[in-house]
Amino acid sequence: MDDSLGYLIHSLEPHQHAIERARAFVPERVLARFEGAKSAPAADAPDDIIEPGPGERPSPALLRESAILTYAIIGELRRRQFRLVGEYPLARRRPFWSRSSTARLAGPIRKFGMVGLLDPDSAARTPGFGITLHATPRSAGARAFARPGNFLVFDRLGLFVPIVLSESRLELHAPPGPTNGTSTCYAERRGERGIVTAGHLFAVSDGRRPVPFLDGVEGRLRRTGYPVIDAAFVERSIPEHLVALDVLDFPTAGQRIVMDARSGRHDTVVQGVSCREMGVRFSAYPVLTFTASPGLPGDSGSLVRLETGEAVGIYRGQQRPVDQAWPPTVGVAQNFAQAMHTLGAQPLRAAPPRT
């Protein structure tokens, strides 16, 4: 996966005509972080695009465009305001569109879809911005719709994007057992203090046994959202002087992120987000963030954050392709804001030193 700033710029550039039109379809709460950021000027011609140097970060204006495109698409998917143009077996391999196809596609997109950057080295050879279905090999519906050359058209946005298939399986990066993962952050819940971590670490726990920590302290599992929301709260002793941890509700493709993992620091970018409702205050199904590169076994529960510190997700594992040649494995994180809402917890961090 090309995680360079140049690839993000080139992926968004063809959609400049649709971005300002799509702005009206994105709630203010989503774009609050990018308030005041103006759209990046479009180049007059491809030759006018100046390639960014190594290590350069995307501007707030560029991330604003990414967020507009991402969450306008998600909103139209939820409203079923789209149509599929391309090839489908039941249509005898002819271009088609029908309301029945839109209804049948809504399910696989909601379950498997990711809106964001496509892999330019994919089997479909489809670079740019679009929708990837991270579906299992048994998902016949996803295979039927996400065929090479197929596009989703969003008429109200004046936009069309590719839809591609990634046959893959989710591999959690820790087997059940609290000592197999790591803590995400400190937290407080209903007067109890402790830590947050990945819920799948307690997949076989009944909550009665003490939770051991490497520092010798024992905790108690008080709340878990698994298997739907991959997060858990464990009561244990934590430092006294802590402050609130800032949270980013709505990440977007291209944002530089850091995973503070047991295996060390991992720097990567947000590749995309799941095609879910534009909200995190519910627990009916998970909202996920996909990263351009995964962590390692034992990193489950690691905090995924922006370089500026805001929490983005709780690391779960990786989407490993069935075909090892493509696409590259991507990391998967549970949306942090949704996890905190499900647990009813307030995330905390160490207070900055006094000056």
What's residue 99's pLDDT? 56
Reported confidence tier of residue 98, pLDDT bands at 50, 70, 90: low
pLDDT at residue 355, rounded to an integer: 60
Q: What percent of the chain has pLDDT over 90?
A: 59
Q: Report whether pLDDT(119) > 90.
A: no
For the chain, how many structural domains are there in total? Answer: 1
Q: Is 88 part of a structural domain of the chain?
A: yes
Name the percent of the chain lying above pLDDT 70. Answer: 84
DSSP run (H or E) holding 161: strand 159-172
Contact 315, 301 (CB under 8 A): yes
Q: Cα–Cα distance between 159 and 157 in angstroms, integer?
A: 5
Report if residue 140 sits inside a domain.
Answer: yes
**pLDDT single digits (tens) 231-276:** 999 999 999 999 999 999 999 999 999 999 999 999 999 999 999 8
| Mean pLDDT value across residues 208-214 | 89
**In 10 A of CB 157, how many CB atoms?**
24
In terms of Cβ atoms closer than 10 Å to its own Cβ (0-12, 13-18, 19+), residue 28 is: exposed
Domain range for residue 65? 5-167
- Whole-angstrom distance, CA of residue 229 vs CA of residue 306: 21
Contact 49, 105 (CB under 8 A): no
Residue 126 falls within a domain, yes or no?
yes
Q: How does pLDDT run across 123-174, given as a tens digit for each residue? A: 555 679 999 999 887 775 666 677 778 899 999 999 999 998 888 899 999 9
Give the per-residue pLDDT at 44: 37
User: What was the pLDDT predicted at 87?
Assistant: 61
pLDDT at 341: 95
Q: What is the pLDDT of residue 326?
A: 60
Rounded to an integer, the average pLDDT of 89-99 is 46
What's the gap between Cα 342 and its chain centre? Answer: 17
* Per-chain mean pLDDT for the chain: 85
Least confident of 116-130, 156-170, 202-216, 304-318: 116-130
Instruction: Report d(CA 182, CA 148) in Å as an integer.
Output: 40
The verdict on residue 75 lying in a domain is yes
Query: In this predicted structure, what is the pLDDT of residue 90?
Result: 43
pLDDT of 92 over the 90 cut? no
Q: Is residue 346 in some structural domain? A: no
The answer to the question of residue 157 being in a domain is yes
Q: In the structure encoding, which two tokens stand for residue 175, read together?
A: 């087997």
Q: Is the pLDDT of residue 76 over 50?
A: yes
User: Cα–Cα distance between 276 and 113 in angstroms, integer?
Assistant: 8
Q: What is the pLDDT of residue 38?
A: 53
Flag whether 276 is in a domain: no
Q: What is the pLDDT of residue 243?
A: 97
- Rounded to an integer, what distance in angstroms lies between the CA atom of residue 234 and that of residue 5? 38
Residue 52 pLDDT grade (very low, low, confident, very high; cuts 50, 70, 90):
low
pLDDT of residue 55: 64
Domain assignment present for 261: no
- Number of neighbours of residue 296 by Cβ within 10 angstroms: 15
The average pLDDT across 13-25 equals 93
- Does 333 score more than 90 pLDDT? yes
Residue in the block written with tokens 């399910």:
107
pLDDT tens figures, 181-205: 999 999 999 999 999 999 999 998 8
